[in-house]
Amino acid sequence: MTDATPSSQQPNQQPSQQQAERSTSTPGANANTNPNANTNGDKNNPPKKRMSPRARFILRALGLVVLVVVVAWVLYYQFRGKYLESTNDAFIHADSVTVSSKVTGYVDQVLVADNQIVKAGQPLVRIDARDYSAQAAQAKAQIDAASASQEAANAQLAEQQAAIAQAKAQLAAAEEDARFASSEVERYTPLAASGAETRERLTTLRNQQAQARTTVAARRAALDAAQLRVRSLQAQVRQAQAQGETAKAQYDAASVNLGYTEIRASVDGRIGDKQVRVGQFVSAGTRMMTVVPTRFYVSANFKETQIGLMRIGQPASIKVDALPGVEFHGHVESLSPGTGAQFSLLPPQNATGNFTKIVQRVPVRVAIDATPEETRSFVAGLSVTVEVNTIAAKDELRALRERTSEANATRKEPQ
């Protein structure tokens, strides 16, 4: 559309403008109207351009697209988006193992280097083991001595059993002699009384009877002593056994300490924070290095307003800042039993002073569903962004609201 010059429009537009002026002005003002005023107004206010049909179509199409996008976003948010909880307050963690010494001594060998990959059971450090080898040898010698004492006591016990058998035989012989002597005295007593035998013979037999009885008493006392000796020897055997067990326990302790002189990796991982050196004197509990395992997980600190529908097993997506464009999958493994502030060194005490409400954060452990090959570039402490899909628990919140509403209504009913 082309614009017309002011000179060509003035004759055509002046009657209409004069009619508009007459309709809006007073009768007294019509007499003083300047004809040249319309011409000057047309020069200062040119007519507006009309929008072409193509421009109007494009504008309407853009408006429709915007409307569709807004409607789609609202629908997506209502049915899915509001159940996606995300946070960038999340980090990669690993259950690192601190390697410390169990025994005291000088470091003899350091068998690993910084950042080296190690396997479970692989030797890391060796401590001078000569003192502990001597202790183990001493305990082994004590075991041998206790074993020899036990064998000697057993031999004495067997010998004493033979002595008891001999004492029993001697007692039996003495008792037989005593019975024979008594029978002889009984037989010769009436003979001596009748004069058939002399009294000297009877006196001799009575003397033999008394000696036989004394021998029986002596043999019985010897048997009792031998039997009591058995108890003493049995006690010696038990004592030797106890000494042997004590020596064995000392040997086991010495062997354990000897084994602790070689420190091994307890898990697969990489060496970090290595502080030990050859020749260094270490005591029990001295920190030497850290083994960072190859199994990683994410510790995500969600706001307290985000965990209402969060449950164990819900899927999660993980984006590592160090790997742009790469998305890992995982699942919620566990939720902390308390907020991070509750487990801090100085938990907050809001019972005194002014109170400012701060949104608390709850640590959530997210397992990474990936192979070690896929996570080989992970490092403990890396920042990540975690998004958890809680749509599976959407009905639980609705059911909870209904139950609480019913319970509140029941409480408010008059009794």
DSSP 8: H
CA 266, CA 251: separation in Å to the nearest integer?
25
Structure-model confidence comparison of residues 42 and 3, the more confident one: 42
When mean pLDDT is compared over 8-12, 43-47, 216-220, 311-315, the highest value belongs to 311-315
- CATH number, domain with residue 393: 2.40.30.170
Whether 156 maps to a domain, the answer reads: yes
206: domain CATH number?
1.10.287.620
* Residue 410 domain-assigned (yes or no): no
Q: What is the number of other CB atoms lying within 10 angstroms of the CB of residue 139?
A: 19
Whether residue 249 is found in the same domain as residue 148 = yes
- Above 80 in pLDDT, residue 50? no
Within 10 angstroms of residue 83's Cβ, the number of other Cβ atoms is 17
C-beta atoms surrounding 392 within 10 Å: 13
Domain count, the chain: 4
pLDDT greater than 50 at residue 390: yes
- 116 and 135 share a domain? no
Residue-number span of the structural domain to which 378 is assigned: 85-94+295-344+356-399
Q: Identify the pLDDT of residue 42.
A: 53
Instruction: Single out the residue in 236, 259, 282 at which a domain terminates.
Output: 259
Say yes or no: 134 and 124 in one domain. Answer: no
Percentage with pLDDT > 90 across the chain: 44
Using the structure block, give the residue that is written with the tokens 């004495």. 156
For residue 393, is it within any domain? yes
Q: Residue 160 — very low, low, confident or very high, per pLDDT cuts 50/70/90?
A: confident
Q: Please indicate whether residue 204 or residue 104 has the higher confidence score (pLDDT).
A: 104
User: CA 265 to CA 288: how far, in whole Å?
Assistant: 12
Please state, as a whole number, how many other Cβ atoms lie within 10 Å of the Cβ of residue 176: 12
Give a yes or no: residue 113 inside a domain: yes
Same domain, 156 and 255: yes
Closest CA to 102 of 246, 253, 247, 248: 253
Indicate whether 44 and 157 sit together in one domain: no
- 193, two tokens: 């009384």
- Condensed to tens digits (0 to 9), the pLDDT of residues 256-302 reads 999 999 999 999 999 999 999 999 999 999 999 999 998 899 999 99
208 and 270 in one domain? no
Say if CB 340 and CB 301 are below 8 A apart: yes
Worst-scoring range by mean pLDDT, 21-30, 64-73, 120-129, 322-331?
A: 21-30
Contacts for 287-291 with beta carbons within 8 Å, 24 or more apart?
287/98, 287/99, 287/100, 288/99, 288/100, 288/101, 288/124, 288/125, 288/263, 289/99, 289/112, 289/124, 290/96, 290/97, 290/98, 290/99, 291/96, 291/97, 291/99, 291/118, 291/265, 291/266, 291/267
Amino acid identity, position 85 = E
Mean pLDDT across the stretch 24-33?
42
Last residue of a domain, one of 247, 273, 290: 290
pLDDT digits (tens, 9 = 90+) for 90-108: 999 999 999 999 999 999 9
- Predicted confidence at residue 351, as pLDDT, reads 74
Residue 392 pLDDT: 86
Cα dist from 25 to 34, 39, 40, whole Å:
13, 18, 18
Q: What is the per-residue pLDDT across 299-344, written as a single tens digit (0 to 9) for each?
A: 999 999 999 889 999 999 999 999 999 999 999 999 999 998 888 8
Check pLDDT > 80 for residue 202: no
Least confident among 81-90, 141-150, 158-167, 304-313: 158-167
